[in-house]
Chains A and B, each alone.
Chain A
Amino acid sequence: MKLSIYRYDPDKDAKPYMKDYDVELEHSDRMLLDALVKVKNLDDSISFRRSCREGVCGSDAININGKNGLACVTKVADLPEHVTLRPLPGMPVIRDLIVDMTQFFKQYESIKPYVVNHDAPPERERLQSPAQREELNGLYECILCACCSTSCPSFWWNPDKFVGPAGLLQAYRFIADSRDQETAARLDNLEDPYRLFRCHTIMNCVDACPKNLNPTRAIGKIKELMVKRMV
């Protein structure tokens, strides 16, 4: 398998460059992450993040032949013989395939990602019907890999002002939770020309999400709620 990989080490490189690798894969090397580990065995200086290797921790999001995805659940068999790997677009590169996620997490934190309920907690669980719980499906499963936000042109332009698809998906996750009592404040928090309304429904996020979630739909629902409370 041939890989062209974006390389940049600020400690020694004046500027980034692409480096080619040829790796021999074994039968057990099913995923792109397996191939990347093989490359690292040849050249220990290549840096990338990885942990769970099963698509739940969100560490190894990279740009694969122009499309964002998780290396650990991208099958080698589904890729062409020559693969180009770059860091997630639009983020400052720390080194090689590792990007600085500060801005991404700042936006996530800005939506107050926790249930707020002012009633004294009961002795047992708060009740929630299966239908109410169903509302959280397709939202809570987000792994914060940033594949969506870093495929979004609006986020590229305004990462400091636009919450981005990942943050907005989570904003809706808490609005949709029957246990949360802060819907009005959550909508106020997004009532802004940039924070929510920079989404122009380009839908790159939906295409990029490795967990098959749909941020555009969640954003649409927030917009609907905004309109509803205006009329």
Chain B
Amino acid sequence: MSLGLPIRRFDALVVGAGGSGMRAALELARADLKVAVLSKVFPTRSHTVAAQGGIAAPLANSSDDNWHWHMYDTVKGSDYLGDQDAIEYMCRRANEVVVELEHMGMPFDRLENGKIYQRPFGGHTQDYGSAKMAMRACAAADRTGHAMLHTLYQQNVRTNTQFFVEWMALDLIRDPQDGAVLGVTALEMETGEVCIFQAKATLFATGGSGRIFYASTNAFINTGDGLGMVARAGLPLEDMEFYQFHPTGVYGAGVLITEGVRGEGGYLLNKDGERFMERYAPNAKDLASRDVVSRAMTTEIKEGRGCGPEKDHVMLKLDHLGAEVINHRLPGIREIAIKFANADPIRDLVPVVPTVHYQMGGIPAKYTGNVVVPEGSNNESIVPGFYAVGECSCVSVHGANRLGTNSLLDLVVFGKASGEQVIKDARTMPGAHRTLPKDAGDYTRARLARLDSNAAGERVVDVLTDLRRAMQAHCGVFRFPDDLVLGVQKVKEIAERSKRTFIKDKSKVFNTARVEALELDNLVETALATIVSAEARKESRGAQARADFPSRDDKNWMKHTLWYKEGNRLAYKPVHLKPMTVDSFEPKVRTY
């Protein structure tokens, strides 16, 4: 207790038990390492569970396909901001990791010949962007994330992985000598106990931060915890301006309706009953990339062709697919549409609107999971002992816009790869843990003490609501220069207010008010990173569409943003245009 907090020591610590954290944990279980997995929620409650449409792999079960085409689609989808070496790595390992999931028992749907069922998805093409779609999305009905997350949890039950459930990681601990990561402080929700988890390898798999926006498909728990911890520890966040709006969130509720419905043949209509995507993407139509479809929908609404009394949404048409396809391939969607939109897709149109869905940016990492930051002349110097995977990381395989079904693939490819890397690095790690700095727990204790002692201040819910509304209003599908400037100012003011939050509940036992106050700190950092980076990037690329700079500017902006909390400082680093073994895909005008 010399540091004022109890210490638990492990070889490796995984923070987060969604798809990537559990895939990494599974890899680590195979080595002779002492591993702990921390999670805010019971593992099967993680947000991976909500993924619907599929996981990408060029298995070629239903159409010609190969990893080269998958790679091309991913590079093009990223609007050429993705790192081509990492993208090659992911696409080359896709079949391997998906087949492994099947061997683990994941209940994929099947074709008549017994192979995994695959469906078309947005931006998935044959022969380097031809008009022919590739059937690449491996699906378990429209519950692919649920099937995958449960399978990964089941495998971790089998390997006896040590989970610390309902423990929230609070702050990163670094060695002041070389910046190495030594572990985290964490709070046990049930008891209020705070302790230090020290590890030779700390792997963040903490997920996204979609709750910074008012309308989001994301779960309550997606509060950017890993990103907040990283920012407070002085490390940068990469490409945070790129936030994906999913075309089909249920109007008014935000709940996701998978792109798989359009893969199965569904399409979008405006108030005139026009299939408007034919005008915006003559080849791919409703299966263009998500950023393209979301912009088209927003344009339709802005130009007065939206549906409903407020003309503020469009309609998704599925009734022509027939009850058989809907009940068999899209049963979860039917359930959601009936519950959240009072519409049965077998006979009704479903009201939808572009809704915040996925964070392309995150903690700068390599395809090995190693976190990398600029150091002197080296743009990508490895932070010893620190790894990041999944949505919290920026590898960057998604660049400025992620393709549907590449998120689940990202989780398992890089979950596995980072596990392999930790095992490799562990061989050269010294036997003993390093000495923790004397003040290792002080920062966390000060944060908690403030919440425990404050007798008055700002209500967490008020600050949170203002933050989410500001992000929604100032950093949407289309971004306007004055809005962005004002938005930066507003979010900075809100960040100041977040330092004065106050909770009435002072209980030690399962104090969710305290948890929400601590989450707000993480949301604030993530929102600042997003809007400051967005304001600074003077071009349109992928998910960032600026009214004043409507085109992509490869000459000046083919580079990754790095945002630092201190002074909201920005730096930039080049995109990896060179793949591992094949020729580069040169930037082209992006049409679908």
The stretch among A9-17, A151-159, A221-229 that forms the contact with chain B is A9-17
CB pairs A–B below 8 angstroms (20 shown): A11-B509, A44-B504, A44-B513, A45-B505, A52-B219, A53-B220, A54-B255, A56-B143, A57-B50, A59-B42, A59-B45, A95-B510, A96-B510, A114-B105, A125-B99, A140-B107, A141-B146, A144-B42, A144-B44, A177-B107
A56:B50 contact, CB within 8 angstroms = yes
B340:A30 contact, CB within 8 angstroms = yes
A59:B41 contact, CB within 8 angstroms = yes
**In the complex, what residues of A have CB within 8 A of residue B151's CB?**
114
Complex Cα spacing A58 to B116, Å: 27
Complex Cα spacing A111 to B134, Å: 39
Could you list 20 further interchain pairs (A-B, Cβ under 8 angstroms) beyond the known A56-B49, A124-B115, A130-B111?
A40-B513, A43-B504, A44-B460, A44-B505, A50-B220, A53-B255, A54-B50, A54-B255, A56-B50, A57-B41, A59-B41, A59-B45, A95-B509, A113-B154, A124-B59, A129-B114, A130-B110, A132-B110, A136-B107, A141-B146
**In the complex, what residues of B have CB within 8 A of residue A174's CB?**
105
CB distance from B534 to the nearest CB of A (A): 27
**In the complex, what residues of B have CB within 8 A of residue A10's CB?**
509
Chain A interfacial positions (CB closer than 8 Å to B): 9-12, 28, 30, 40-41, 43-45, 47-59, 73, 75, 94-96, 98, 101, 105, 109, 112-115, 117, 121, 123-130, 132-133, 136, 140-141, 143-144, 174, 177, 179-180
CB distance from B25 to the nearest CB of A (A): 14
**Closest chain B residue to A129, Cβ basis:** B114
Contact of B102 among A11, A125, A130, A132 (CB under 8 A): A125
B102:A126 contact, CB within 8 angstroms = yes
**In the complex, what residues of B have CB within 8 A of residue A28's CB?**
252
As a 0/1 sequence over residues 135 to 150 of chain B, the CB contacts with chain A under 8 angstroms (1 = contact) are 0000010010011001
A54-B50, A57-B45 known; A47 vs B511 contact (CB < 8 Å):
yes
A47:B110 contact, CB within 8 angstroms = no
B110:A11 contact, CB within 8 angstroms = no
B513:A41 contact, CB within 8 angstroms = no
A45-B507, A113-B154, A143-B44 known; A51 vs B112 contact (CB < 8 Å):
no
How many chain B residues touch the partner (CB < 8 A)? 61
Complex Cα spacing A49 to B176, Å: 38
A115:B104 contact, CB within 8 angstroms = yes
Complex Cα spacing A44 to B47, Å: 24
**In the complex, what residues of B have CB within 8 A of residue A130's CB?**
109-112
**In the complex, what residues of B have CB within 8 A of residue A49's CB?**
41, 45
A140:B147 contact, CB within 8 angstroms = yes
Complex Cα spacing A50 to B40, Å: 11
Complex Cα spacing A101 to B59, Å: 40
Complex Cα spacing A124 to B60, Å: 12
Residue B433 at the chain A interface, CB threshold 8 Å: no
Complex Cα spacing A133 to B508, Å: 47
**In the complex, what residues of B have CB within 8 A of residue A126's CB?**
102-103
CB distance from A145 to the nearest CB of B (A): 10
**In the complex, what residues of A have CB within 8 A of residue B512's CB?**
40, 47-48
Complex Cα spacing A98 to B513, Å: 14
Residue B3 at the chain A interface, CB threshold 8 Å: no
B507:A12 contact, CB within 8 angstroms = yes
**Closest chain B residue to A27, Cβ basis:** B252
**In the complex, what residues of A have CB within 8 A of residue B221's CB?**
51
As a 0/1 sequence over residues 202 to 240 of chain B, the CB contacts with chain A under 8 angstroms (1 = contact) are 000000000000000001110000000000000000000
User: 7 nearest interchain CB pairs?
Assistant: A115-B105, A127-B114, A45-B505, A44-B513, A114-B154, A125-B102, A57-B45
**In the complex, what residues of B have CB within 8 A of residue A12's CB?**
507
A125:B503 contact, CB within 8 angstroms = no
**Closest chain A residue to B503, Cβ basis:** A44
Contact of A121 among B103, B332, B513 (CB under 8 A): B103
B340:A125 contact, CB within 8 angstroms = no
